[in-house]
């Protein structure tokens, strides 16, 4: 694929990611993606021949990778697991608040809407969550309960994001941060 094709594909994925994160699977109709990306309709079908689920699945993986990269940066700069988790919650809270309470988790909305109905989307959501749990587990290395604790932390983060979005308040994130700090000490 040439540079122009790569750029067009990236524009389509960026537009899809934005639409999905702010409105869910159903707000990312193909016409909306074409309008938001400025890409020709033919490019959409060329780059994503398996249709909307392929497009949304790839955008979820892309968003998950970006979030995973941010988590990796936080892991490197954190002195402890508690500091790392606090940084993750702060990063996610900043992102949510800066987006006008629109962008919580880039995966959760699609997981809630479509994981039971679409195997490709369930797989994409599962892959991202698995990679995030692995990143948490790596930061908890040496603890005998690292596997269980990583999933617990991820579930608390996801729940806190949902509550923060619903309340349009960082308070749930702050409360979970405090509880996780106590748990990780």
| Dihedral (CA of 2, 18, 78, 111) sign | negative
pLDDT of amino acid 185: 80
pLDDT of amino acid 123: 97
Residue pair 173/92 in contact (Cβ under 8 Å)? The answer is: yes
**Rounded distance, CA 70 to CA 82, Å?**
16
**Rounded distance, CA 83 to CA 180, Å?**
10
Residue pair 115/52 in contact (Cβ under 8 Å)? The answer is: no
pLDDT of amino acid 141: 83
Give the pLDDT band of residue 3 (cuts 50, 70, 90): confident
Give the pLDDT band of residue 5 (cuts 50, 70, 90): confident
Assess whether pLDDT exceeds 90 at residue 4.
Answer: no
**Rounded distance, CA 119 to CA 40, Å?**
28
Tokens at 41, concatenated: 């309709």
**Rounded distance, CA 20 to CA 25, Å?**
5
Assess whether pLDDT exceeds 80 at residue 136.
Answer: yes
Place of tokens 């899809």: 16
Q: How many CA atoms lie within 13 A of 19 on its CB side?
A: 23
Give the pLDDT band of residue 82 (cuts 50, 70, 90): very high
Greater pLDDT, 2 or 81: 81
Mean pLDDT calculated for residue range 51-72: 94
* Domains, the chain, with CATH or none: 3-184 (1.10.357.10)
pLDDT of amino acid 1: 60
């Amino acid at each position: 694929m040439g540079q122009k094709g790569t750029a067009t594909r990236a524009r389509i994925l960026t537009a899809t990611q934005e639409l999905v994160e702010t409105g869910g699977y159903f707000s990312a109709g193909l016409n909306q993606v074409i309008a938001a990306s400025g890409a020709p309709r033919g490019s959409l079908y060329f780059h994503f021949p398996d249709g909307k689920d392929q497009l949304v699945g790839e955008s979820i993986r892309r968003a998950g990778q970006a979030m995973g990269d941010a988590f990796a940066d936080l892991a490197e700069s954190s002195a402890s697991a508690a500091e790392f988790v606090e940084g993750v919650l702060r990063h996610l809270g900043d992102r949510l608040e800066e987006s006008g309470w629109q962008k919580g988790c880039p995966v959760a909305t699609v997981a809630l809407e479509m994981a039971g109905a679409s195997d490709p989307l369930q797989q994409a959501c599962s892959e991202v969550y698995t990679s995030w749990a692995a990143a948490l587990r790596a930061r908890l290395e040496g603890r005998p309960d690292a596997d269980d604790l990583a999933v617990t932390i991820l579930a608390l983060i996801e729940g806190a994001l949902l509550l923060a979005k619903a309340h349009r308040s960082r308070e749930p994130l702050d409360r979970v941060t405090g509880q996780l700090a106590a748990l990780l000490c």
